[in-house]
A and B are shown apart, each in its own frame.
Chain A
Amino acid sequence: MNSLERVMNSIKGLPVDRVPVFAVLCAYGAKLTNCDLHALFSDADAYVAGQVAVQDAFGFDAVIGTFDFSALAEAFGGEVAWHADQCPTMKRPAAQDALSALRLALPDPRTTKRLPTILAALRHLVEIYGGEVPVFAVIPGPGILPTMMMGLEAWMDAVLFDQETALRVLERSGRFFVSWAKALLGTGITGLVVAEGMATENVLPRSIFAEFFLPHIRAMFELVDGPMIFHHSGGSINHIADLLPGLHGLLGVVVGSKDDLTEARRLIGPDLLLAGNLDNLGFPTATAGQIREGSLQCLRIAAQGGHFILSHSAADIPLATPPANLLAMIEASAGYARGDGPAR
């Protein structure tokens, strides 16, 4: 069974030889290929080489496109901060407030800044891995996307105190969300991972998510009309997880490291894919044995009913993580299939 079959069977709830294992290792590719991070996130060939090195070294069950939202902030006209040991981040947004954000030109996925580079990398990865390993692209959720235009503070200000303007921003940013999502899907990838920061308990109470953002997210999912996995984006999302089933095209949900997996399963129901939930920040300092045990714990809790992928929380696994800690996740899945319980 190859990775694609393993993942597709997990999505459908069919038997697998072992539970699939995902890890986000965008910057780690640079470490393996001795490439600096500026080049990795600016050059499609460099990014592809990094992901090939990651795949050769570890054999995770998915190849992931860049988890780098600074490219979108840059495409809207913002500045990027480049770092030596982590993915680039937004340094300064293009707009200072919601009204200014409404005047920003919408990026063109084919031509604006690094967006074509991201698409080229995905096309190449699909060429290399199509039919064997699923390729996913990551996109910021429709609710958090306006922060790429104006930053979190200004967006929070609009959402909380000027919802009329905030709705106008969502209408505008939503047009880009759909065009970017369709461009990503057009590369032939398996699906999108939608990282929705506004869904996390640490950012918004359930009521605001449900009343203000969920209708917009629902509409965006319908317009994108493709396979999507809803990602917690760093915090906890069990407080809104029950609202997610029924979103058009939704394959599954990735929950945060502080979300209870049993509760997450109860909330999303038996038929959606559930992924999670090792703490990615703990990877550099944990031992391989601790990662293996943590992985097994996730598997024992969540794998028996099928529809499960072993994964970690948040975005990139830190560069300081020893390779043995990454391999420990896959070893745990194999060990679980062999003896610690059925992988189904």
Chain B
Amino acid sequence: MHPEISLVLLTVLAGAGQGIFILLVALNSLFYGTGAVPSEYIVAAGAISLLFQVGGIITSTAHLGNPHRGWRAMLMIKNSWLSREVVTLSLSVGITALYLLLYYSGATGTVLFVTGMVGIAANLGFYLSCSMVYASVTFIREWSNAFTPLNFTLFGITSGFGVNLAIAHYTHVNTDILFGINSLTLALALVALIMKLLSYRFNATAYVSVNVKNAIGVNDPNIKLMDMGASYDHYNTKEYFYENAEKITRKTMFLVLTVAFLVPIILWTVAALKREMAYIPELTVIAAIAMIAGLIIERRFFFIQGNNVQNLYYANFRSTGVRNPLESRARKGTPVPMN
């Protein structure tokens, strides 16, 4: 699939923004009134969470043909995961803003706790619906599997916690709490790395039951595309196919694993092993930026890996997994790969 940068930014930024909110609510609920979590942290983390979420919404409108009608996307919550995504994201933004407002106006711990829990429910709803937008497309096997919702949720929460850690360093949060966040984020990042490796492995062997024989209805193992029915590339060959996929596959996988996971893991491990290192705020900022940047590359690659079965008609379909570098672009005389 063509990597749509607006959707990449939406899923990564909104996911991280909600991860920030989840930890913010958890810390404020656990340490409310103790003074261990200063108000600067709540305000800064809340504002950055809002910024990430609103930034995601704004960039996502670039994907729409008619952004001024975007509100209509909330109408089919009963049927469409996309509709649920829009509703839960709007709810999350609203509740994050409300939480900050209540905190600022001096609401009681119970009110904040209840609001926070509703917000976390909306966040989890967003992770699920946002990932199911992709996981429910059964004709793209690389998307339609359990790794998609698990990874979207895990990566969103981990990156949010990572950003939180950096914010907490600059807002004088209690050092024990800092160490706790550091350890938790590190543990999540390790699980995320394992999940990413497992999903790469799954995608390398992913297959669908459809093949070109039943796509065009001819029982013959030798089928070649002679003419794709257009003078040049059109929507179907541009939207479902990424021209440079062969070239970037291995490099991108390496880049994702390094920038999104290994760099932050090393930095957080150093901080966890040597406690005084945890008080070097620059390290946590670098780790958070690396993880967000890495996840943007990861999400872009997630799109590129998506292999819609309609590519069978254009000889662009990969029979399994990572694209074979010898498999050239769909043009006249190109054999259609058999499944």
Q: Do A and B form a real pair?
A: no
B residues sitting closer than 8 Å to A (CB atoms) are none
